[in-house]
């Protein structure tokens, strides 16, 4: 993750006008159409993206496979967390990068990451890590003027191979992690990488939704 943080921040956030109306609560990523949804872009950092939109067990999803690569899908949004604080998504990890651990720069690989950007200096990343225990919160490596928090939602092989639905109150997470009121969400990014460990990873991520309490 550290190698792509600058790219993430400067390509995904702050292109939405501050005067723009915040989006209504609703689906941020809808994969039911069978293709990359409108507004989403593939970004390749290392190697070539291996990604498809399909149905798995009847669930519309984006499938991602990394073989010593790093790539993502990203979208600019404008979501008011005071109105829409609840984030829900489903994911299914098939293969974890061997030895992946976000706490180590030379092993910072994950099968699935959901990156929520707020500004040039603030972001939260929800991850399924290979090694770091579930519930671990830590700082991602970043320039001194940035603060990016990693939250381990799932860890290790427990639950792999099955669809799991996650729900987070992003408003509460932001207040707890940064000790301040959040600004609007300006970008969402789905990412997979395995280039640090030189291994491979595979996952699915389903529809991403912001909703009211």
Instruction: Tell me 31's DSSP state.
Output: -
List, in order, residues 6 or more apart from 101 with CB less than 8 Å away. Answer: 107, 108, 129, 130, 131, 132
Ordered DSSP codes for 134-179: TT-EEEPP--TT-EEEEEEEEESSTTTTS-EEEEEEHHHHHHHHHS
User: What is residue 5's three-state secondary structure?
Assistant: helix
CATH of 2-14+26-211, one of 2.60.40.640, 3.40.50.300, 2.60.120.260, 2.60.40.1180: 2.60.120.260
Query: In the numeric block, which tokens belong to residue 73?
Result: 């899908």
The reported pTM is 0.90
CA–CA dist 17, 77 (Å, integer): 10
Using CA atoms, how far residue 81 sits from 8, 58, 65, 137, in Å, is 21, 30, 31, 21
- C-alpha distances (whole Å) from 22 to each of 38, 55, 123, 137 are 18, 30, 18, 28
Look up residue 35 and give its DSSP letter.
S
Per-residue pLDDT of the chain (213 residues; tens, 9 = 90+): 544 443 544 344 433 333 334 456 889 999 998 899 999 999 999 999 999 999 999 999 999 999 999 999 999 999 999 999 999 999 999 999 999 999 999 999 999 999 999 988 899 999 999 999 999 999 987 777 789 999 999 999 999 999 999 999 999 999 999 999 999 999 999 999 999 999 999 999 999 999 998
Q: Residue 65: enclosing H or E segment and its boundaries?
A: strand 59-67
User: Alpha carbon of 92 to those of 63, 118, 143, 161, 173: distances in Å?
Assistant: 9, 26, 32, 6, 23
For the chain, which residues make up each domain, given as ranges?
2-14+26-211
Please state, in angstroms and rounded to a whole number, the distance separating the CA atoms of residues 77 and 10.
14
Where residue 169 falls (left for φ over 0; alpha for ψ -120 to 50; beta otherwise) is: beta
The answer to whether 47 and 68 have CB atoms below 8 angstroms apart is: yes
Phi/psi for 160 (5° steps) reads: -65, 150
Structure confidence at residue 13 (pLDDT): 44
Point out which residues pair with 211 in neighbouring strands: 86
């Amino acid at each position: 993750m550290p190698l792509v943080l600058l790219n993430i921040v400067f390509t995904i956030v702050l292109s939405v006008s501050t005067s723009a109306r915040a989006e209504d609560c609703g689906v941020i990523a809808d994969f039911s159409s069978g293709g990359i949804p409108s507004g989403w872009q593939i970004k390749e950092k290392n190697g070539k993206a291996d990604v498809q939109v399909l149905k798995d067990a009847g669930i519309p999803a984006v499938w991602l496979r990394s073989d010593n690569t790093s790539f993502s899908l990203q979208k600019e949004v404008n979501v008011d967390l005071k109105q829409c604080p609840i984030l829900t998504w489903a994911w299914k990890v098939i293969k974890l990068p061997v030895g992946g651990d976000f706490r180590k720069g030379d092993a910072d690989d994950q099968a699935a990451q959901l990156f929520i950007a707020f500004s040039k200096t603030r972001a939260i990343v929800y991850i399924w890590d290979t090694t770091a225990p579930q519930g671990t919160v830590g700082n991602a490596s970043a320039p001194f003027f940035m603060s990016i928090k990693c939250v381990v939602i799932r860890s290790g092989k427990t639950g792999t191979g099955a669809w799991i639905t996650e729900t987070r109150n992003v408003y509460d997470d932001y207040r707890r992690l940064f000790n301040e009121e959040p600004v609007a969400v300006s970008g969402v990014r789905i990412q997979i990488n395995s280039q640090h460990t030189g291994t491979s990873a595979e996952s699915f991520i389903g529809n991403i939704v912001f909703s009211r309490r």
